[in-house]
Amino acid sequence: MKTKIIDILKQCYDPEIPIDLWNLGLIYDIDVTTAENDKRDVKITMSLTTPGCTMGQHMADDIKNKVKALEKINNIKVTVTFDPPWTPEMMTDYAREKLGYDPIKTKELDQEINVEWE
């Protein structure tokens, strides 16, 4: 079910940035539980690129409407948080490339540390 939800989140966009919410790194948590009626309750925790973003409710409603269309969904709740605050480092390399950022280097590539003193 989480995979189906992630696929839907890749169809939900920040109206001000042409990248989906999943690749922007705005989705912090997806919690799926089984309800008594054998349907699923879904809780999604997300953030916004800035606390002053006026499109938060629009994005949350878009998520709710699209996830609720999935089979066997009972309830969907979307919570917006700013803890931790979103940073561009949270984006996937796909989003980073589309927005002109360099890809995130892995620690192995960044570990060239000169430990010799001159």
CATH superfamily of this structure's domain 2-110 = Fe-S cluster assembly (FSCA) (3.30.300.130)
CA distance 69 to 9: 13
Q: Return per-residue pLDDT of the chain as tens, 118 residues.
A: 999 999 999 999 988 888 999 999 999 999 999 988 889 999 999 999 998 888 999 999 999 999 999 999 999 999 999 999 999 999 999 999 999 888 776 544 444 544 455 4
**Which residue, among 60, 70, 76, 71, has the nearest Cα to 21 in the 3D structure?**
60
CA distance 36 to 23: 33
Strand-pair partners of 80: 46
CB proximity list for 72: less than 8 A, separation 6 or greater: 1, 38, 39, 40
43 and 97 Cβ atoms separated by less than 8 Å? no
Q: Where are the domains of the chain?
A: 2-110
pTM of the model: 0.82
